[in-house]
Amino acid sequence: MSKKPIFHFEISERKVLLRLFDMVAVLLTLAVVGVVFEFDYFKINADYWNWTLVFLIYLNLFASIFELYDLQKADRFDSVIKNVLLTSSLTVLFYILTPFFTPSLPANRLQILFFFLSIAGALLLWRFLYISLISSPRFYKRVLVVGDSFDIKLIAESLQKTDPNYVVVGYVNTDDKLKTKFQKENLIRFEVNELQGAIEKYHINEVVVASAYQKGLMLPLYNELSELLKKGFPIRDYTQVYEEITRRIPVQNVDKDFYKYFPFSRSNQNKFYLSVFRILDILVSFIGLIFCAFILPFVILGNLLGNRGKLFYTQERVGKNGRIFNILKMRTMVHDAEKSGPQYAQKNDYRVTKFGRFLRRSRIDEIPQFYNVLKGDMSLIGPRPERPVFVKELSELIPFYETRHIVKPGLTGWAQVMANYGDCHDDSLEKLQYDLYYIKHRGIFLDLSILLKTLSTVIFFRGQ
């Protein structure tokens, strides 16, 4: 029999726990160090509350940028060490460089080292305890899935990939025509009459239903689930769980009645939100274009040596409401890269030059698109615009693909910071799931999350 879990922390609860104890651990350590070593650079009291506030803002900002609240990375101590050192270094650096809001540098510069070591040491100790205790199997959520004609292995992998503490123990298959063998994946198949006994034996925390009543949720199973509901046992819909955990919409499991239960975000029609967002687009575009003008001589020189051809070019893309516009780009591929016709860009694409690869990895090749943002063809955040020929192809293959065009395309987006680089149908489907999630939940907090994750993507040179 499996070990009984104490209780389970949900994703949002673990993120709050991490953020809260990061602050508590660091402030407590700084207070102790201040007393023991007569450390007076950073004081925590009512007279200097503004120092503490500024410090916590920097700490939370850089911890978010360096992915200390990414649960997949928070479970691996090797990733935690690197991200903690980066977070501590940038927090200390910015704290030192803003003396108007923070204390002046101490006469004894050794206190700066104490300051850094206290922050890094406190974070590393707390995160080690988190991995050893909170991320242990005793806090995993144990789930049983009910469904018909579904890929249980795919469901288990997609949920557990996003939330390492979410474990699918077994399943009840409501479609007798589907023969499944999952012994290698350690997923147990239960019969309907074994459901309540399995919940007690395997300490199941939740039942996830991935089957409609008319399609396979037969009366005996329906009655079993009703009994569990009467006892207060949590039973949830698969699409709701999938969306909550993976933060994308499972369009491949949605039928033609999709729009009946797809409540688009009110922000898509909120004039105040859209106006503020447009002002932000304009301000950031000006800054981006000024930066582009500053680095342009170096890029032109690199292009002459590495690409030996025209630097800028335009390409047709599909914008809001299906309107075609010309996107401005920097050339990163060899001349006549598409002489045999339009092709998807691929990971490690042989057509990309060495200098072009640098432009892509650093995202410098996308800076000219600030011109499109300034014009209003694009926005700072939104689904990435695709070429018309590929939109037509993907719309025929993927359900609801055209839905991504109800908002402006973006320079960055939820799919860009969450999904891997894609060059096939399955990757396009995954990106669409993220795009639809953004359209459904669009708002200021999700936008800020995307901007912070974009900084992480650029800093760590992830992507193309």
Which residues are within 8 A (CB) of 203 and not within 5 positions of it... i.e. 6 or more apart? 2, 3, 4, 5, 142
Q: Please tell me which residue, 262 or 143, carries the higher pLDDT value.
A: 143
Choose among 86, 53, 89: nearest CA to 68.
Answer: 86
Average pLDDT across the chain, whole number: 82
pLDDT in tens, 104-144: 777 777 888 888 999 999 999 999 999 988 877 777 888 88
* Chain Cα centroid distance, residue 158: 14
- For residues 422-440, give the mean pLDDT: 82
Q: Which of 219-233, 256-270, 346-360 has the lowest mean pLDDT?
A: 256-270
> Would you give the DSSP letter of residue 75?
T
Q: What gap in Å lies between CA 165 and CA 93, rounded to an integer?
A: 35
pLDDT per position as a tens digit, 59-78: 999 999 988 998 888 888 98
Average pLDDT value for residue range 425-452: 88
- The C-alpha atoms of residue 118 and residue 83 are separated, in whole angstroms, by 16
Q: Across residues 434-445, what is the average pLDDT?
A: 90
- Coil, strand or helix at 25: helix
State the burial class of residue 438 (Cβ atoms within 10 Å of its Cβ: 0-12, 13-18, 19+): buried
State which H helix or E strand residue 381 sits in. strand 379-381
- Residue 336's pLDDT band, with cuts at 50, 70 and 90, is low
What is the C-alpha to C-alpha distance for residues 360 and 346, in angstroms, rounded to an integer? Answer: 12
Pick the closest to residue 371 from 280, 462, 285, 305 (CA basis): 285
pLDDT at 291 over 80: yes
Confirm if 413 and 450 have CB atoms less than 8 A apart: yes
What type of residue is 33?
Answer: V
Residue 412 confidence (pLDDT):
92
Confidence of residue 29 (pLDDT cuts 50, 70, 90): very high
- H/E element, 418: helix 414-418
Those residues with Cβ within 8 angstroms of residue 116's Cβ, 6 or more apart along the chain or in another chain: 88, 89, 92
Backbone angles phi, psi at 307, to 5 degrees: -105, -35
Mean pLDDT of 297-307: 86
If pLDDT is split at 50, 70 and 90, which confidence band does 374 have? very high
For residue 183, the model assigns a pLDDT of 45
Higher pLDDT, 255 or 378: 378
pLDDT band at 414 (very low <50, low <70, confident <90, very high): very high
pLDDT at residue 1 in the model: 42
Helix (H) / strand (E) element for 81: namely helix 77-96
CA–CA gap between residue 224 and residue 102 (Å, rounded): 61
- What integer is the mean pLDDT of 424-436? 83
Q: pLDDT band at residue 184, thresholds of 50, 70 and 90?
A: very low
226: buried, middle or exposed (CB in 10 Å: 19+, 13-18, 0-12)? Answer: exposed
Beta-sheet pairing, 188-189 with 166-173: parallel
265 contacts 439 by C-beta, under 8 angstroms = yes
Q: How far apart are CA 103 and CA 43, in angstroms?
A: 9
Highest mean pLDDT pick, 91-100, 348-357, 380-389: 380-389
State how far the Cα of 447 lies from the Cα of 5, in Å rounded to an integer: 36
Give the amino acid at 262: F
